[in-house]
A and B are shown apart, each in its own frame.
Chain A
Amino acid sequence: MTPEDDRDLAAAFAELRREEEARTPPFDQIVRRGRARTAHLSILPACPLWLAVAVALAVLGVWLGTRVREPRPSTAVPPLAEWRSPTGFLLATPGRDLLASPPAWGRSVLDLREMPLTSPSERRPSS
Chain B
Amino acid sequence: MTDDEIQRSLVELHPASAGWALSCCRWEREEAEEVLQVAYLKILDGRARFGGRSSFRTWLFGVIRRTAAEHRRGRWLRSIVGPQWRDGHPGPPPSPETRLNEAQSGHALRTALQGLPARQREVLHLVFYQEMTLDEAARVLGISLGSARTHYHRGKIALQRRLGREGKP
- Report A's interface with B, CB cutoff 8 A: 1, 5-6, 8-10, 12-13, 15-17, 19-21, 23-27, 30-31, 33-35, 37-38, 40-41, 44-45, 47-48, 52
Q: In the assembled complex, which residues on chain B have CB atoms less than 8 Å from the CB atom of A5?
A: 156, 160
Query: How many chain B residues have a CB neighbour from A under 8 Å?
Result: 36
- The smallest C-beta distance from A109 to any residue of chain B, in angstroms, reads 84
With the chains together, A25 CA to B36 CA distance in Å?
11
Most buried by B among A5, A6, A30, A40: A30
Q: In the assembled complex, which residues on chain B have CB atoms less than 8 Å from the CB atom of A26?
A: 14
Assuming the A-B contacts A19-B105, A27-B10, are A9 and B128 also in contact, with contact meaning beta carbons closer than 8 angstroms in the complex?
yes
Interface residues in B73-94 (C-beta closer than 8 Å to A): 81, 85, 87-88
Q: What per-residue 1/0 map shows which CB atoms of B28-47 lie under 8 Å from chain A?
A: 00000110111011001000
Q: In the assembled complex, which residues on chain A have CB atoms less than 8 Å from the CB atom of B41?
A: 31, 34-35, 38
Interface SS majority for chain A: helix
With the chains together, A45 CA to B77 CA distance in Å?
12
* A1–B19 CB distance below 8 A: no
- Report B's interface with A, CB cutoff 8 A: 10-11, 14-15, 18-19, 22, 33-34, 36-38, 40-41, 44, 81, 85, 87-88, 101, 105, 107, 109-110, 124-125, 128-129, 153, 156-157, 159-160, 163, 168-169
Q: In the assembled complex, which residues on chain B have CB atoms less than 8 Å from the CB atom of A48?
A: 81, 85
* A17–B11 CB distance below 8 A: no
* A27–B81 CB distance below 8 A: no
Closest to A15 in B: B169
* B87–A41 CB distance below 8 A: yes
Assuming the A-B contacts A1-B153, A1-B160, are A37 and B14 also in contact, with contact meaning beta carbons closer than 8 angstroms in the complex?
no
* A20–B22 CB distance below 8 A: yes
